[in-house]
Copies of this chain bind each other. A is one copy, B any other.
């Protein structure tokens, strides 16, 4: 890594770790390896001395050499990237790269506005379709600017990527959790871009646990959403009456996990439940990381795995793991055979299958 020898000015960043605009700046700082002092500014009850420093009352802002202030996240990013100190600046400044960065960021701003509008009324079918179209348009635009990808400027991580990734991270989580909307379903190029960015230390190390973003976003979301009130916890969809759901809840209780329960009547599910699970089955577990898990057995397995104690018991003991796995599989065979037999109690094969599966238990 080439390092320029110039001394950098003293940099003091007024910031908030949950704010996407601040993360943009942090990514540039990490990419260039700059030395920066940080002052955390709370969103609520912003101190008066800070309001004096920044008349727009926003974070981030940057103080240089204890005197002059630099405002606006994008301008701060550019300023830090232009500093003749630290590691190589981001991306080669060819005119075409500059154009790609400027034009994509400009269009991305409109995309962010479209997402925010959608979030006001996310269970509206028409608005979902119109967001789908916006997502497709933006993904196609990214594709048209790229030649080989995966970044906006192909293989160069640029200011454009640094500026869009913090929004992707937060919106993906909130759209999943609050709106049951998969931001990347129709956006393979944006999905690829985010994945590759998440592998960069500058992005990974400036990203907080997803749950924190969800909690911070909660009060921006309409209070009428099904998940309103879940507060970033696990969410379990299903009917408390169902034995499968009961089994999952028992497993959760044994692992000290308290999922937020959303009652779904499987014979008359609400329209929006199709967004959670197009196949319509319950139970479904949604994790704070935005992973949606279907099928009671898979859910129980997941909860089992996610709980800390798991590792110590069986790991590395192939015999015991096989015994457990075989028992679960055989139970499944028996349950299926029993169900088939109850439907057709006079069919000979059903009887035989039931006997055979019972023997294996």
Contacts and interface: CB of A to CB of B under 8 A. Distances in A.
Interface of A: 55-56, 70-72, 74-75, 78-80, 82-84, 93-96, 98-99, 102-103, 106, 140, 143-144, 147-148, 182, 185, 188, 191-192, 195-196, 198-199, 289, 291, 293-295, 297-298, 301-302, 305-306, 316-318, 321-322, 325-326, 329, 356, 359-360
A298 to B, nearest CB: 5
Given A329-B72, A356-B55, A301 B99 contact: yes
A75 B148 contact: no
Contacts of A321: 78-79, 82
21 contacts: A55-B356, A55-B359, A55-B360, A71-B326, A72-B326, A74-B329, A75-B322, A80-B318, A82-B318, A82-B321, A95-B306, A96-B289, A98-B305, A99-B291, A99-B293, A99-B305, A102-B301, A103-B294, A103-B298, A106-B295, A148-B199
A325 B144 contact: no
Tell me whether chain A's interface is mostly helix, strand or loop, or mixed: helix
A80 B148 CA distance: 30
A195 B143 CA distance: 13
Nearest to A191: B147
A167 to B, nearest CB: 17
A297 to B, nearest CB: 8
A44 to B, nearest CB: 21
B188 A318 contact: no
Contacts of A148: 192, 195-196, 199
6 closest A-B pairs by beta carbon, nearest first, are A95-B305, A82-B318, A95-B306, A147-B195, A148-B195, A79-B322
Contacts of A71: 326
Contacts of A322: 70, 75, 78-79, 82
A298 B105 CA distance: 11
Nearest to A318: B82
A103 B72 contact: no
Given A99-B298, A103-B295, A293-B103, A305 B93 contact: yes
A277 B293 CA distance: 42
A80 B321 CA distance: 11
A143 B189 CA distance: 12
Given A74-B329, A140-B185, 14 more contacts: A55-B359, A71-B326, A78-B321, A78-B322, A79-B321, A96-B291, A98-B301, A98-B302, A99-B291, A102-B297, A103-B298, A147-B195, A148-B196, A148-B199
Taking each of A99, A102, A329, which has the highest tally of chain B beta carbons within 10 Å of its own beta carbon? Answer: A99
Contacts of A306: 95
A325 B356 contact: no
Contacts of A360: 55
A106 B298 contact: yes
A145 B46 CA distance: 41
A268 to B, nearest CB: 25
Nearest to A70: B322
A98 to B, nearest CB: 5
Contacts of A359: 55
Nearest to A306: B95
Nearest to A81: B318
A168 B294 CA distance: 24
Given A82-B316, A301-B99, A316-B84, A75 B106 contact: no
